[in-house]
Amino acid sequence: MIGLSTAAEVRAAEDVLLAAGREGALMQRAATGLAVVCLRLLGRAHGARVTLLVGAGNNGGDALFAGAQLAARGARVTAVLFDADRAHPAGLAALRRAGGRVTGPEGPDGLDRADLVLDGIVGIGGRGGLRTEAARLAERAATGPGLTVAVDVPSGVDADTGAVEGAAFAAVHTVTFGAVKPGLVVGEGRGYAGTVHLVDIGLAPHLAPARAHQLTDADVAAHLEPPGPTDDKYSRGVVGVVAGSAVYPGAAVLCTGAALRTRPGLVRYAGTAADGVRAAWPEAIVTDGRPGDAGRVQAWVAGPGMGTDDDARSVLAEVLATDLPVVVDADALTMAAREPDLVRGRTAPTVLTPHDREFERFGVPVGGDRISSARRLAADLGAVVLLKGDATVVAAPDGTAFVNATGTSDLATAGSGDVLSGVLGSLLAAGTPAAETAAAAAHLHGRAGQIAAARGPILASDLVRVLPDTVGRVRGGGDALLGHSGA
Ligand SMILES: NC(=O)C1=CN([C@@H]2O[C@H](COP(=O)(O)OP(=O)(O)OC[C@H]3O[C@@H](n4cnc5c(N)ncnc54)[C@H](O)[C@@H]3O)[C@@H](O)[C@H]2O)[C@@H](O)CC1
Ligand SMILES: Nc1ncnc2c1ncn2[C@@H]1O[C@H](COP(=O)(O)OP(=O)(O)O)[C@@H](O)[C@H]1O
Ligand SMILES: [K+]
């Protein structure tokens, strides 16, 4: 698991080392790690043109020290100081000693011919969008030829939330220090951060336990254990699906198929799309009766394509009245938003899987801070909330949160969410803790999207088809497709 630490948590850990007089050492570790990543990205230092955008704080100091290391290896480094009087004095001296040039925001910044641009405007000390001068150069960097690399956090991105209020530096890579900050992997900030490289500066022993995490393939593999010699079709967890309708059987077929393909023990289906499900999945046990007629299950998935009329409402209420884990998706979300008490007060886990428009039906739009929004609704309903998006967020009522690290925008296709709820129901039937299990389902769904999309545009049924291969590959470990790396 990769812990996501807020700016305050990072500062608290740094304070321990600063109190021990290690300030210089911390910044040197950060700058050296940064220079190493830059060298790797450039492929060579000698003759490379590098522009540093340097703000008045320690973030600018990191950029200056890293620039000095690159200059010492023959790079042609120009530092643009936004506030010449307050630029980090030791960093500036080091850059000058190494032969780097220094200019102001109106000076010859070299951006039009740069091979690499380092954004040291602001780091975790930043507030709000970039100010005018910085915004103008960030824009030129984004449209210029140089590879854009953010120091610690892309300037203008809120390190804690990923919110971007105004202009921000668009980085292709972000080299971050001590811990990955949530704002690099969630919300708008994710798009500005690009690939995240984590540099270890020795903070780990002093960091408070993270309240938000990203799962890796290895974490998710623990949810995908193959059956053992004593297992039978029941012992692996039976999932029940109430979804679809006679007119719209597609959602039921996708959801049931995804559940079967994730953990092929036993899937039961109850509802009016029974004929369609039978035809598509002879392996499923199907009834066109009520959930209670389906037989025993260990978890329910309710919602995709089931409608929101009185019959659908009574089916949902029957499922939510059980003491089993329930996934509430799609039409079931619409009904739960109308009647939140259907969910509040349940003792067994409930996982709600809204996208932004479904989330808003519960009263408040998602806004720029997706983790806090998911936490708020989770606490209000006493349920796990899986808020879908390009980086899906999962929050538990106690504030534990996960940000998904897998996926592709190709997943924005009709029926993709029905597949996710089938995968999730199937994993929940094993009885593992609901929030981490929901995060594991999002991870697996995202991986399936990446694998399916490697061949071209995808349909939701392609996701179902590649699920067994995806499970096999995630079990096999290896995070080659993940968005960030250790530096
Ligand atoms: N504290 C430490 O020992 C370490 C700090 N490190 C670096 O230091 C950074 C934090 O440094 P600071 O606390 O000095 O703060 P920053 O350098 O992140 O930002 C503070 C400066 O930015 C200005 N600023 C704030 N918002 C702005 C905006 N929207 N537009 C333009 N300017 C804005 C402020 O006026 C202030 O001058 C980290 O992100 C990291 O890069 C690393 O060197 C590791 C060690
Ligand atoms: N731009 C995107 N990048 C990555 N994943 C996305 C993107 N858009 C949607 N997704 C994912 O695709 C799925 C879509 O679900 P949903 O909107 O419920 O689809 P549907 O209702 O058509 O089944 C979610 O898992 C979501 O996280
Ligand atoms: K920065």
Residue pointed to by tokens 């915004």: 135
Q: 358 alpha carbon to ligand 2 midpoint, in Å?
A: 12
**What separation in Å is there between the alpha carbon of 299 and the centre of ligand 3?**
45
Q: Would you say domain 217-486 falls under CATH 3.40.1190.20?
A: yes
Average pLDDT, the chain: 96
Task: Kindly give the number of the ligand 2 atom that is closest to the alpha carbon of 388.
Answer: 27
Q: Which residue has the least CA distance to atom 39 on ligand 1? A: 123
pLDDT for 22 = 81
Over residues 222-237, the mean pLDDT reads 91
CA distance 331 to 336: 9
Helix (H) or strand (E) holding 93: helix 89-97
Confidence grade of residue 479 (pLDDT, cut at 50, 70, 90): low
Residue 119 tokens read as 């954004």
What is the topology classification, in CATH, of domain 2-210? Rossmann fold (3.40.50)
Rounded to an integer, the average pLDDT of 213-227 is: 95
Helix 331-338 × helix 310-320 angle, to 10°? 80
Residue 127 has a pLDDT of 87
- Pocket mutation for ligand 2, best pick of 333, 355, 404, 410 (most atoms within 8 Å of C-beta): 355
Give the number of whichever ligand sits closest to the CA of residue 448.
Answer: 2
Mean pLDDT of 448-459: 96
Ligand 1 pocket, 30 CB below 6 A? yes
Mean pLDDT, to the nearest integer, of 428-449? 98
Band (23; pLDDT cuts 50, 70, 90):
confident
For 421-434, what is each residue's pLDDT tens digit? Answer: 999 999 999 999 99
Number of the ligand 2 atom closest to the C-alpha atom of 411: 12
Indicate whether residue 26 lines ligand 1 (CB < 6 A).
yes
Tokens 């000076």 sit at which residue?
107
Distance 59 CA to ligand 1 centre (A): 5
Residue 251 assigned as binding residue? yes
Q: Over 60: is that where the pLDDT of 481 sits?
A: no
pLDDT tens for 301-343 read 999 999 999 999 999 999 999 999 999 999 999 999 999 999 9
Rg, Å, the chain Cα set: 25
Structure tokens at 362: 């519960």
Cα of 373 to ligand 2 centre, how many Å? 18
Residue 183 DSSP class: G
How many angstroms separate the alpha carbon of residue 406 from the centre of ligand 2? 12
**124 annotated as a binding-site residue:** yes
Q: 363, 399, 362: which is closest to 379 by C-alpha?
A: 399
Q: For residue 392, which atom of ligand 2 is closest to its CA?
A: 27
Closest ligand 2 atom number to CA of residue 404: 27
Residue of minimum CA distance from atom 5 in ligand 2: 390
Does the annotation place 129 within a ligand binding site? yes
Closest CA to 468 of 451, 483, 453, 485: 451
Q: Determine the distance separating the centroid of ligand 3 and the alpha carbon of 422, expressed in angstroms.
A: 41
> Tokens 């036993």, residue?
266
User: pLDDT at residue 480 above 60?
Assistant: no
Q: Return d(Cα 153, Cα 167) in angstroms, integer.
A: 14
Length of the chain: 487
- The confidence score (pLDDT) of residue 140 equals 97
Residue type for 235, please?
S
SS3 per residue for 5-41: CCHHHHHHHHHHHHHCCCHHHHHHHHHHHHHHHHHHH
Supply 127's token pair. Answer: 């507030």
**Domain range summary for the chain, segments of one domain joined by +:** 2-210, 217-486
The model carries a pTM of 0.95
Residue 70 has φ and ψ, to the nearest 5°, of: -70, -40
At 484 the pLDDT is: 44
* Closest ligand (CA of 169): 3
Pocket lining: 136 vs ligand 1, CB cutoff 6 Å: no
pLDDT at 478: 56
Binding site membership of 414 for ligand 2 (Cβ less than 6 Å): yes
User: Would you say the CB of residue 131 lies under 6 angstroms from ligand 1?
Assistant: yes
- Assess whether the C-beta atom of 389 lies below 6 angstroms from ligand 2: yes
Each residue of 168-186: pLDDT tens digit? 999 999 999 999 999 999 9
CB of 412 within 6 A of ligand 2: the answer is: yes
- Tens of pLDDT, residue by residue over 84-131, are 999 999 999 999 999 999 999 999 999 999 999 999 999 999 988 899
Read off the pLDDT of each residue in 209-222 and give the average, rounded to a whole number. 97
Distance 403 CA to ligand 1 centre (A): 25
Tokens 């390190």 belong to which residue? 159
CA of 124 to the centre of ligand 1 (A): 6
Measured CA to CA in angstroms, residue 204 lies from 12, 131, 207 at distances of 11, 33, 5
Per-residue pLDDT, averaged over 456-476, amounts to 96
- 352, 366, 411, 447: residue to mutate for ligand 2 pocket, most atoms within 8 A of CB: 411
